[in-house]
A and B are shown apart, each in its own frame.
Chain A
């Protein structure tokens, strides 16, 4: 290996007094004292989240309050760190308001210790039911606390506008019936 000898220059008299460095440092300090503040008093103050931010994945309802997820398990499949776990379930025929959807998750768990916030689940969801929204801070004392269950996911997700009302349209068609 080539050895490069670096010449160490002796300090000049002025440098040895350290005064230029102290004055330079104080100048920076005083400049920031009067300059506008760049930091936030977190957690009392929270940053504004820009649109398109990928926060904690959440489950959402449509404006009619319908649970959108039908447990197709595509997000479970696509999730690179395998953070999602779904137990699919059937909606029984006697729940007349949503029986036409037939399928909904019995359990839906997202392990936030595994999640890498990649947003693939949101991208793959054919029902537009899972979104990475503004929530960015997750903390807990145990591993179990860091797993978001279905109730928590809906609580975090809330309601988002819907462009299609696919299942409502299906129900209308069903109630309407065939022409013959």
Chain B
């Protein structure tokens, strides 16, 4: 079976600064991966590379068996990747509904506008609002809806719960289980390790651009990851 993601010896840099150093990860289709690590560990950089938003990297990346193009977000989208970016990044001059419509692709899948509106009813209620008129939580739901509208094969979340109230975080995580059930591969970055490990199949920890832990997520606690997270050696 071809893997959803097959990454070997991935290194990336911003000028002189190495943000990723020899990262190798495999993710199977339908798997949910929790990606954790301290500030500056390289999580966002990793997601940006997959999305074609960064071109200064070396190594091998195969998405569903196809080599990923360097710095070409349109090609990443064609490979079935979608991103729920940190800070939502909604299109400010489009309405909520238009933000969903523009996410649509010709890939078949369960996520038509109706299904997305059932997942997040608030999207239907505020369909003609502009993103700036929404609360942070509502914006995050629209961002997830926009990504789902593409019927992605691999859905990436950066800082999924950053700045959201506990109620909204619970709603977003509830939605994650419906999304998982449809067989999409998820990679989720969240600061709250135990919460994200609860929904994940496996967990990967980055420290200063390298993978310091990779294993099943079941039962993993923040304590277990302490060394990997802070770079301690045993």
B is a partner of A = no
Chain A residues with CB under 8 Å of chain B are: none
Chain B residues with CB under 8 Å of chain A are: none
